[in-house]
Amino acid sequence: MAHITLPDESLPGIVGLFNFRPETASSLRWLADTLLRGESPLTSGERELIAAYVSHLNDCTFCHMSHASAAMAHLSCDLDQIADIRNGFQEIPVTPKLRALLNIAAKVQKSGKEVSEEDVAAARAEGAIDREIHDTVLIAASFCMFNRYVDGLGTWAPQENEDYRAMGQRMAFKGYIPPVEQTVE
């Protein structure tokens, strides 16, 4: 049960919170869509992995599972591979560049000041460009906010991978902005 009274207690995680405050939901949805699906040298699958990994580090079940499911959809992986994110990417193919970016994301999750020149140099040595480093830091920082929003208000989260399949597919292929909002200029 959430810490506040939500209009529809059956909606999990951030979905219930978006329903509670549609006026803030719009901006947050646009942010998520821009970060995870907008123009970037990182693929949407890579960006979803970053979001899922940071959410795991923050122990936010709903965000971890939903974004891991979206990553699995983008990467054509089975939902059973979600556990691999928590296990340090032993099965999911992760390039050395993405691994270096995930290291930066993990540092941001602790504190932005944890990111060192050495971390950035290691990412550059693997071929990361400024935009990829920027996008990684912004995704990690934003997901710390999203995770704290979801868990700080005590929303509920389904526990089984399968419970996230449709959500992950929808997020991966339709995005984060409801069709009505997409038409607003």
How long a stretch of residues is the chain?
Answer: 185
What are the residue ranges spanned by the domains of the chain? 13-178
Per-residue pLDDT of the chain (185 residues; tens, 9 = 90+): 899 999 999 999 999 999 999 999 999 999 999 999 999 999 999 999 999 999 999 999 999 999 999 999 999 999 999 999 999 999 998 999 999 999 999 999 999 999 999 999 999 999 999 999 999 999 999 999 999 999 999 999 999 999 999 999 999 999 999 876 554 44
The model's pTM: 0.95
**CATH no. of 13-178:** 1.20.1290.10
Whether residue 55 contacts residue 157, with contact meaning beta carbons closer than 8 Å, is answered with no
Amino acid at 170: R
